A and B are shown apart, each in its own frame.
Chain A
C-alpha cells in the first residue's frame, strides 16, 4: 500500500448521503413504528462502521468494505420498504439516494483491483445541465459532478431545460430520454435546430437498454449516451469528452470572429483608399501586405482645387472642412468606381493610381474616364455649395503613365501602400500647368489610349527639374 490510497472512490457521495440521513434521524425516529425504527438504527450503525473503516485507510480491506456496504444497503433498503408511500417522504428520498450511492460504490469496488488507486478522471470544469424528471436522479448526478469540480444546474422537464439553455452558456447537456410532457427526443431536436445551441454536446441517458432509442438520438445529433444506472466513472469520462468538444467549438468560434473582425478592420482601413475588389485581393493574398515593392506600369492621376489657398482665407474653418469633405467625398466615389487606388489626400489635392496593386489592360482608359467624370461631377458639388452660400470650385486634373515602384513603404509600425519614382514628379509638374476645369494628360497616357481619347489641343511644357520638354494633351472626351 503506497501513498494516498483511496480504496473507495465513491465515498464522498456516499458520505454525504449518510450525513443527510443522520441529520434527520433524530427527528424522524420517534415518528416511526418499532420495526422501521430498528432498521434506522441499523442504517446508522452500519454507516458508522463504514465511516470508521474508510477513515482507517489502510486497515480496511476491500472485503470488509463490501461487508459494510452490504449491511448499509440492506438496512436502507429494508427501511425504504417500510416508509415508502407514507408520510416520510424526506426520509424516503434520503434513503433512495443512499441506496443509489451504495450501488455505485459497490460497482466501483467491484471494478477496481485491490491496492490500485481510485479511478478519477481529471477534467476541465464545465457547466453541465442535467435534465431528468426524477429528483433523486438529478440530485445524484448534480452531487457527483459538483464533486468533480463541475458547475451543475438541473432541470425537471424539457421546458425548464430550454429555459436554462436560453439563460446560460451550457457546456454539456445530460438528457434523460423518458420524461413526461416534452420528452428527451424533443429537447434534443430543439437543441440541434437552434442556431446557437446546436454545437452544445448532448449526452442522452436511457433508463433501459433501449438501443434503438439511442441510435435514433445519435442520428438526431446526440453526441454520446449512457444507460441507467450508469457507472460514475463512465459518466465522468463522457462529460470530459463533451466539455473538450465544446471548448474546441468555442475556440473555433472565437478564431472565426477574430478573423472576421480583422477582415472588417482591414476593409474599413483600406476601403477608404482602395476599391472593394483590391481589398478582397489583398485579403486573399496576405503576403501582398509585406513591406517591399515591385515595379509597375501605372497611370497616375493628380487633381487639386484651383485657388484653394485664397478660398481658405475667405471662409470659416468649418465652412472649409464642409466644402472639402463634400468635394473629396464625391471624387473618392468616382475614383473607386473606376477601380483607382487613392494614394493620399494632401489638403485639397488627390493622388490616385490606376494599375496597382492590381494591373489591368485598361488602366489608362479607366484613368481618363475617371478624370472626365471628376470634372463633370464638380458641377453637382458646386450646386450643393451654392445652396449653402459657399463659392463654386474649379478643379484641375493631370494624368501621366509610367513605371513606378509600388509597395508598402514605411516601417513595421507605420507603413502605407504608396508609389515612388520619376513619373510621380512629372505628374505633379503637369498638374501645375493644368488650368481650371481641364484634364491634361501626358503623351504616354494618350499613347496608351490609342486614339480612344478626344484631344482638343496639345502643349509643350518646360517643367522645372525636368530636362526634356514635356508634351501634354488637353483631353475633352473618350470614345470606347
Chain B
C-alpha cells in the first residue's frame, strides 16, 4: 500500500532519516526526504507534499527559518509542518508554533504518537 502523502521528511542525520523513512513507508506513506532547510523549501515548492516533518537543527538553513520562509511563500503556505526537536522545553514549543509550524514532536520520537499527529493532517 502506497500513495498516502507524500510526506517530506527533513532530517540531516542520515541514520534517523533512514529509520523514519522506513517506518513511514511501512505505515503506508510515500516519503520524500531532504537533508537541509534550503533543500526542503525547494522540494516543498516543486512537489507539494501533503505534510512536512521537519527537524529544527538543520545545516545551511535551520528549521525555524525554513518554516518562516515556507509561510511567507504563497505556494508553500498551506502545507502543514510538524516540527521535530530534540528539546523538550516549553519555549521550544512556543518557538515552533511561532515560526509557523502546525504541530510539534520531541525526539526521541514516540512513533505511535507521531503517526496520530500525521493522521490528523492527512487522513487515509
A residues within 8 Å of B by Cβ? 35, 38-39, 42, 45-46, 49, 62-63, 66-71, 73-75, 77-78, 102, 106, 110
Contacts and interface: CB of A to CB of B under 8 A. Distances in A.
Contact of A70 (B16, B22, B57, B87): B16
Given A42-B19, A74-B16, 5 more contacts: A46-B15, A66-B86, A71-B19, A74-B20, A74-B111
B23 A78 contact: yes
A63 B22 contact: no
Nearest to B22: A78
Contact of A63 (B20, B23, B86): B86
Contact of A49 (B15, B86, B111): B15
A78 B86 contact: no
Nearest to A50: B15
A370 to B, nearest CB: 88
B92 to A, nearest CB: 11
B107 A42 contact: no
Nearest to A62: B86
A104 to B, nearest CB: 11
A67 B22 contact: no
B107 A66 contact: yes
B86 A74 contact: no
B78 to A, nearest CB: 28
Interface string B1-36: 000000000000101101110110010000000000
B19 A46 contact: yes
A106 B108 contact: yes
A319 B53 CA distance: 107
A78 B112 CA distance: 11
Contacts, number: 56
Contact of B111 (A39, A42, A77): A77
B88 interface: yes
A39 B22 contact: yes
19 contacts: A42-B22, A45-B15, A46-B15, A46-B19, A49-B15, A63-B57, A63-B86, A67-B15, A67-B107, A70-B19, A70-B107, A70-B108, A71-B19, A73-B109, A74-B111, A77-B23, A78-B19, A78-B22, A102-B108
A113 to B, nearest CB: 10
Interface in B73-124: 86-88, 106-109, 111
Contact of B16 (A39, A71, A78): A71
Nearest to A75: B19
A78 B21 CA distance: 11
A115 to B, nearest CB: 14
Nearest to A74: B19
- 4 closest Cβ pairs, A-B complex: A70-B108, A74-B19, A63-B86, A66-B86
Contacts of A68: 15
B2 to A, nearest CB: 15
A77 B108 CA distance: 12
A63 B11 CA distance: 13
Nearest to A82: B26
Contacts of B106: 110
Given A74-B23, A110-B88, A69 B15 contact: no
Nearest to B17: A71
Nearest to B19: A74
Contact of B18 (A42, A73, A77): A42
A42 B86 contact: no
A74 B26 contact: no
Nearest to B88: A110
A110 B15 CA distance: 21
A23 to B, nearest CB: 21
Centre residue among A38, A46, A67, A78 by max chain B CB count within 10 A: A67
A202 to B, nearest CB: 32
Nearest to A102: B108
Nearest to A111: B88
A39 B21 CA distance: 12
Contacts of A49: 15
A74 B20 CA distance: 7
Contacts of B86: 62-63, 66-67
Given A63-B57, A66-B107, A71 B13 contact: yes
A68 B15 CA distance: 8
B119 to A, nearest CB: 18
A73 B108 contact: yes
B13 A67 contact: yes
B109 A70 contact: yes
Nearest to A68: B15
B109 A74 contact: yes
Nearest to A103: B108
B59 to A, nearest CB: 13
B26 A78 contact: yes
B108 A69 contact: yes
